[in-house]
Copies of this chain bind each other. A is one copy, B any other.
Amino acid sequence: MPVLTPIGVVRSPYCSRKDAPRQGRLSETISEIVVFDAFREGIRDLADHRFLFVLTWFHEADRGVLAATPPAEQRSHGVFSTRSPDRPNPIGLCLVKLLELEGLVLRVQWLDAIDGTPVLDIKPCHRPLDCPEGAGQQVSISSARTPLE
């Protein structure tokens, strides 16, 4: 079975699951991702991208959950039909806006992870690949970039 290696950690004002917003996207809160020194080379040129997917490990999740009821709903659904953090492999997927990269620290908006959450991966978001609207469009990775302003 594959074993994960955290590449960094979230520093956030959200201290517990109940503090975290249901949708980080609606919040102005700024969080930090502190990348570990061993992975410094991996973030080279990251500031060429404005929108990033951050993959985290929901370390407080219940991995035995197979059904969940989303906050706005009355009935439960299979967990893969929801974004519940409680799931067999509790990998968080969060689109963030990169505000600043300083050394090993990314300052980002929209991240809904709580303080201390392990970070597994960071990937640039490329609209034509990652959004339903772009279906069938040829992607030039270079032109897909939206650098920090």
Question: Which of under 10, 10 to 19, 20 to 34, or 35 or more describes the interface residues of A?
Answer: 35 or more
Q: How far is the CB of A109 from chain B (nearest CB, A)?
A: 9
List A residues 76-123 near B (Cβ within 8 Å): 77-83, 87-89, 91, 93, 95, 97, 118, 120-123
| Number of copies of this chain that the complex holds | 2
A139 to B82 Cα, complex, angstroms: 13
A42 near B70 with CB under 8 A, answer no
B57 near A88 with CB under 8 A, answer no
B5 near A124 with CB under 8 A, answer no
- Partner of A44 from the list B53, B67, B121 (CB cut-off 8 Å) is B67
Residues in A lying within 8 Å of B, measured CB to CB = 1-7, 23, 25-26, 39, 41-46, 48-51, 53, 55, 57, 59, 63, 66-67, 70-73, 77-83, 87-89, 91, 93, 95, 97, 118, 120-136, 138-142, 146
